[in-house]
Each structure stands twice: as C-alpha cells, then as structure tokens.
Amino acid sequence: MQVGITAPFNALLSEKVELYLTGQKISDDGFSELVKDVPGMLARE
C-alpha cells in the first residue's frame, strides 16, 4: 500500500531529478494536468 500512496509523487520527483542533472525542464503542463494524471498513476500501481 505504501507504493500506492507515494506513486503520484514519483513523476514530480523524476522531473526535479531531470532538472537537477540536465538543467532542462521536461515539460510544464501545470498543476491541473498533474491532478488529472493522478488517477491513472494510482491505477497503474
């Protein structure tokens, strides 16, 4: 169950790591797009 709780934050973490390592943003879809993606992220976990 712990993985399911943290799943929505993995995408945010990976974006921050990418920014840190390369200095380039992946994409900036905004918070509303993130919220729309959360149900799918949880379903996949």
Domain tally, the chain = 1
Cβ count near 38 (within 10 Å):
13
pLDDT for the residue numbered 3: 59
pLDDT in tens, 5-41: 676 678 788 888 888 999 877 766 677 777 787 787 7
* Of 1 and 35, more confident: 35
Cβ count near 37 (within 10 Å):
13
Range of the domain at 10: 2-44
pLDDT for the residue numbered 31: 74
pLDDT for the residue numbered 45: 64
Report the half-sphere exposure of 37 (CA within 13 A, side-chain side). 13
pLDDT for the residue numbered 44: 74
pLDDT for the residue numbered 32: 78
